[in-house]
Amino acid sequence: MKTLLKGGRVVSGRGWIEADILLEDDKISKVEADISDSDARIVDVTGRFVFPGFIDAHTHFDLAVAGTVTADDFETGTRAAVSGGTTTIVDFATQYRGETLKEALDNWHRKADQKSSCNYGFHLAISEFSESISSELEEIIRDGVTSFKLYMIYDDNMLDDGSIYKVLKRLTELGGIAGVHCENSDLVKAMVQEQKEMGNLTTSAHPASRPPLVEAEAIDRLLKIAALADSPIIVVHLSTKAGLKEVQSARKQGQEVYLETCPQYLLLDDSVYDLPDFEGGKYIIAPPLRKKEDQEALWEALADDSIQTLSTDHCSFTQKQKSAGKEDFTKIPGGMAGVETRPVLMYTYGVEAGRITMEQMCRLLSENPAKLYGMYPQKGVIAPGSDADLVVWNPDTEWVLSAENQTANVDYQAYEGYPVKGIAEQVYVNGQLAAENGKIVKEHLGQYVKREPYTKLF
Ligand code: MN
């Protein structure tokens, strides 16, 4: 099967060129001017930008949280991903204590296999480290799981500092890399206690119990642990200016630190937690939404390439699920949807607004995650031999985000009423048309992605 995309502007991490793209089965076979091929189905994409398929390296589908399970599983979550232009996700397979790493991966394959509409890989969240886990890592990495997640908070998942040090050393020996959730667990517990003692059980207690220094302290400590282990490190979902400063000073010392942030930390702020009628419950996530000055610092860090990847932390719950914490903010399941809206939000409020360039968007949403997570140049670039995962982006379509027009399995839209510009007009997954203008046309095209060790970004 051949498809020929004619007349598009082919985007890479360095800019865009006008070229035709020939897809043969599940690969890109040619990228050049004026291709003709009488066997190919011809698609006119004149005036459209063609991006390498977007990669969301931070999703949680079909995950048990706070006595419930995320509203999106791999069926609905990957449909939402594809409808917005994301052709690959990397979800978090979690090792529950007492399990081998293999058992954790098997669990996540059972959740995802045969159900996914986009390609998918797994980071492995390590919740317990021992001699046997250490030796098991070798085979896990050889089998194509090359990135890991460590938590500095959450009693069921967190590792102590010594274990983080040991894991990082071992990963570095084997060519693995870890992304870390940075918040200080003890401080959050103490400050939650304070809020409760003051009788504040509403959503406004959420940011009050997790102030910016809770993140910055954990980032600072993590960076020192990583320096001692002589390991590269990824800070996931950076939310604060204070945390950014810690990373910038470590980089000045020569440390290899990568940063991820998410659209919600750029576009929403903590004033939503004070809204009446439990509106704030919709936005309970961790780390919490921050202040305008944090948003500004993060936008600047995107513009000057201090941040490498932009993911979503998609972890969705319905309003009914959220209402479990109406009387006590600590019982609200934490997380929100995002996998579907990331490309259009970044295009509208990043590229169109002049805060980042088209090529930066390409790097942040596709090229850099492909490199950091061992999928480049199979993914993350439009080049002969690469996978035929593509997004034909119409830059002129204007529309409005709403719960009504979303694909994700949730009953609210955190960006309700936001005007946006640009749309994923056609989305190709492994060479086949999977979505058009936000609607799925062919599901279950996703394949599991075995990954190589990470590639250094700088
Ligand atoms: Mn997460």
DSSP result, 78-136: HHHHHHHTEEEEEEEEE--TT--HHHHHHHHHHHHTTT-SSEEEEEEE-----HHHHHH
pLDDT at position 310: 98
CB 208 within 8 A of CB 231: no
Backbone phi, then psi, for 141, in 5-degree steps? -70, -40
CB 333 within 8 A of CB 64: no
Could you tell me the two tokens for 229?
């282990």
Q: How far apart are CA 69 and CA 317, in angstroms?
A: 8
Q: How far is the CA of 57 from the centre of ligand 1 (A)?
A: 10
pLDDT at position 433: 98
Helix H or strand E encompassing 140: helix 131-142
Q: How far apart are CA 337 and CA 413, in angstroms?
A: 8
Q: How far is the CA of 158 from the centre of ligand 1 (A)?
A: 13
Measure CA 135 to chain center.
Answer: 29
Q: How far is the CA of 312 from the centre of ligand 1 (A)?
A: 8
Q: How far is the CA of 235 from the centre of ligand 1 (A)?
A: 11
pLDDT at position 368: 98
Tell me the longest C-alpha to C-alpha distance in the chain: 74
CB 203 within 8 A of CB 332: yes
Q: How far is the CA of 367 from the centre of ligand 1 (A)?
A: 21
Q: How far apart are CA 66 and CA 46, in angstroms?
A: 48
The residue among 430, 434, 340, 290 whose CA lies nearest residue 56 is 340
Q: How far is the CA of 287 from the centre of ligand 1 (A)?
A: 9
pLDDT at position 407: 97
Q: How far apart are CA 378 and CA 241, in angstroms?
A: 34
Query: Looking at residue 158, what DSSP letter applies?
Result: B
The count of other CB atoms within 10 Å of the CB of residue 139 is: 12
**CA distances (Å), origin 396, targets 15, 259, 347:** 19, 31, 11
For the chain, give the number of residues: 458
pLDDT at position 88: 99
Q: How far apart are CA 344 and CA 348, in angstroms?
A: 6
Ion ligand 1 residues within 5 Å by Cβ: 313
CA dihedral 125, 131, 136, 137 (to 10 degrees): 50
pLDDT at position 103: 98
**CA distances (Å), origin 339, targets 27, 88, 396, 444:** 24, 11, 22, 17
pLDDT at position 135: 98
Q: How far is the CA of 313 from the centre of ligand 1 (A)?
A: 5
Q: How far is the CA of 46 from the centre of ligand 1 (A)?
A: 38
Q: How far is the CA of 58 from the centre of ligand 1 (A)?
A: 6
Q: How far is the CA of 65 from the centre of ligand 1 (A)?
A: 11
Q: How far apart are CA 402 and CA 314, in angstroms?
A: 17
Q: How far is the CA of 286 from the centre of ligand 1 (A)?
A: 8
The count of other CB atoms within 10 Å of the CB of residue 405 is: 13
Residue 220 DSSP SS3: helix
**CA distances (Å), origin 284, targets 180, 203, 419:** 20, 7, 23
pLDDT at position 239: 99
Q: How far is the CA of 234 from the centre of ligand 1 (A)?
A: 13
Q: What is the mean pLDDT of each run of 10 residues along the chain (458 residues)?
A: 97 98 98 97 98 99 96 98 98 98 98 98 98 98 97 98 98 98 98 98 98 98 98 98 98 98 98 98 98 98 98 98 98 98 98 98 98 98 98 98 98 98 98 98 98 95
Q: How far is the CA of 19 from the centre of ligand 1 (A)?
A: 37
Q: How far apart are CA 297 and CA 366, in angstroms?
A: 22
Q: How far is the CA of 255 from the centre of ligand 1 (A)?
A: 24
Measure CA 268 to chain center.
Answer: 17
Q: How far apart are CA 275 and CA 264, in angstroms?
A: 17
Q: How far is the CA of 360 from the centre of ligand 1 (A)?
A: 23
Q: How far is the CA of 271 from the centre of ligand 1 (A)?
A: 22
If you compute the radius of gyration of the chain from its CA atoms, what whole number of angstroms results? 21
> CB burial class (10 A; 0-12, 13-18, 19+) of residue 458?
exposed
Q: How far apart are CA 247 and CA 216, in angstroms?
A: 9
